[in-house]
Structure 1
Amino acid sequence: MSKSKILDISHFLPYQLVALSTKVSDAFAHVYSQEAGLTQAQWRVLSHVINIQFATAKQICELANMDKSTVSRAIKQLEQKQFLRLNQHPEDKRATVIECTDMGFDLYKQLTPKALEWEQVLLESFSEGEKDTLKKLISKLSQSVDKE
């Protein structure tokens, strides 16, 4: 194989994005793990449930880009901790909806300011214009992937 055909994976965009995502997720984990004993999956599920009325496991899988077994396990664990409860959908008796309990909502309200503060520190070296550009580029890249 000639040198020009060798892929330097460390400069390959998909690799860079995954590596960065892992670093950011791992660094952020202390906010919800140390403060509340939550796993990454539990934090993501709890956050999505709070933002969706009549949330279903399928919706959470799609929104959080997580597999069904991980989401199901996180839901079960959050239900055991009394942060979530499962109920029958008010309009579709065959469907189960996931709702946040008062305890879960209180925990979310406790963690949200810390999460936002952590994000602010992460981005403090960026100007406001750079932050806007970053968000636009991430959105544009995401839309590009969705088209495939």
Structure 2
Amino acid sequence: MAFDINEFLPYRMVRLANAMSEAFSEVYEQAGLTIPQWRVLVHLAQHPGATAKQLCDLASMDKSTVSRAIKQLQQQGMLVAQQSETDKRATEMTLTELGTVLYETLTPEALVWESKLLSELNPDEKQALLATMKKLEGHFLT
């Protein structure tokens, strides 16, 4: 059996994810954000008080990438970090008002972008895609 990299599912999924990420960048780049900053912003909006370690896990990003994104968002006034009340070794992050406004501005645009993408599929294809993704995520992300 010949191996064709172009038919190899992991390769195809990575290529598709990269292409989608590049196309989606138009949404967050208008606000001057990078992909890691966008992901940290969204996860903090949905998980206020998260630590850097928790953000790494939530966003599936490495520690140095998350740390850099946190630092940049702090410098832009999008988030604040403070020592945890319950664990003095941990630093918890929350969005500032500016960060929250940006999140509330960008997420509707993200949903419109996703809707346009999914409009390429009929309802049965969309349901099958989402079910298959959930199954694969359950295998690899648990």
Q: Would you say same fold, with TM above 0.5? A: yes
Task: Spell out, residue by residue over 1:52-82, the C-alpha distance to the aligned partner (whole angstroms, 9 max, x if none).
Answer: 1320111111111111100000000000000
Counterpart for residue 32 of structure 1: 28
Which amino acid is 1:132 matched to?
A: Q
Looking at structure 1, the residues matched to 40 and 18 of structure 2 have their Cα atoms a distance apart, in angstroms, of 18
Contact 2:48 2:95 in 1 (8 A): no
Secondary structure in 2 matching 1:99: strand
**1:114 pairs with 2:122:** no
Number of residue pairs aligned between Structure 1 and Structure 2: 142
Structure 2 equivalent of residue 96 of structure 1: 91
1:17 and 2:13 are equivalent in the alignment: yes
Pairing 1:78–2:67 present: no
Output the amino acid matched with 1:24. Answer: M
- Quick check: 57-66 or 76-85, which moved more? 57-66
Aligned-pair Cα RMSD in Å? 1.2
SS in structure 1 of the partner of residue 125 of structure 2:
helix
Deviation at 1:142, TM superposition (A): 1.2
Query: Partners of 1:66 and 1:85 in 2: how far apart?
Result: 20
Q: Distance in 1 between matches of 2:95 and 2:48?
A: 10
If the length of structure 2 is used for normalisation, what is the TM-score?
Answer: 0.95
Task: Using the TM superposition, give the Cα deviation of residue 88 of structure 1 relative to its aligned residue in structure 2, in angstroms.
Answer: 1.2
Aligned equivalents of 1:128 and 1:90: distance in 2?
Answer: 47
Residues in 2 aligned to 1:10 and 1:137: alpha-carbon distance in whole angstroms: 20
- Structure 1 Cα separation of the partners of residues 79 and 48 of structure 2: 13
Partner Cα distance (1:50, 1:90) in 2: 20
How far the C-alpha of 1:90 sits from its partner, in A, is 2.2
For residues 83 and 15 of structure 1, the distance between their equivalents in structure 2, rounded to whole angstroms, comes to: 35
Q: Which residue identity lines up with residue 44 of structure 1 in the other structure?
A: R
Which has the higher Rg, Structure 1 or Structure 2? 1
Q: 1:131 Cα shift?
A: 1.8
Report the 3-state secondary structure (helix = DSSP H, G, I; strand = E; otherwise coil) of the residue aligned with 2:82.
strand
Q: Which amino acid aligns with 2:6?
A: S
Query: Which letter maps to 1:11?
Result: E
Taking the TM superposition and a 5 Å limit, the aligned residue runs for 1:44-83 are: 44-83=39-78
1 CA distance for matches of 2:21 and 2:56?
A: 18
Do structure 1's residue 42 and structure 2's residue 37 form an aligned pair?
A: yes
Report runs of 4+ in structure 1 exceeding 3 Å deviation. none
